[in-house]
Amino acid sequence: MKIHDLKPAEGSNRRRKRVGRGIGGHGGKTAGRGTKGQKARSKISAGFEGGQMPLHMRVPKLKGFKNPFRVEFQAVNLDTISESGLDEITPQSLLSKGLVGKSSLVKVLGRGELTRAVTVKAHAVSKSAEAAITGAGGSVELLPMPFGNGRPPAKGNALTNR
């Protein structure tokens, strides 16, 4: 069998019904639209609801919610700290090693193991990471947030960024 021998199955492709071609063809006169009324005439859009606000305009478009007060931390795990070879972990030392971005809040997470004593100064530390650091003989110091104890300023709000 070759590609030019292929045909659709018998009866699967039917000709479209040609309406509005006179009473000799079976879709003449009203062309299957019934009699009179707005829907029998030509100019009505598919989503028109008789002057009521259409469904596509009633439903909300923007999905989800973006919290303007979200605090984003750069995560650093214990295995990354042990591989870095640093004895004192601060945001500046992590930045110089290229482990965090510029002007970022650092959070230490508990993935991996720590075998030596290190001093960790970060903005946030998970409970498992704190237990592992103190268990290895190190110490944890929490740095103050740059925006104080309250909420951070809203992102993208012109009134709060003056």
Give me Rg for the CA atoms of the chain: 34
* pLDDT score at 122: 92
Residues of the chain with pLDDT under 50: 160-162
Q: Give pTM, 2 decimals.
A: 0.54
Cβ distance 111 to 78 under 8 Å? yes
| Rounded Cα–Cα distance for residues 132 and 104 (Å) | 23
CATH class for domain 73-142? alpha beta
Name residue 95's amino acid. L
* pLDDT score at 159: 52
CA max distance for the chain: 97
Cβ distance 39 to 33 under 8 Å? yes
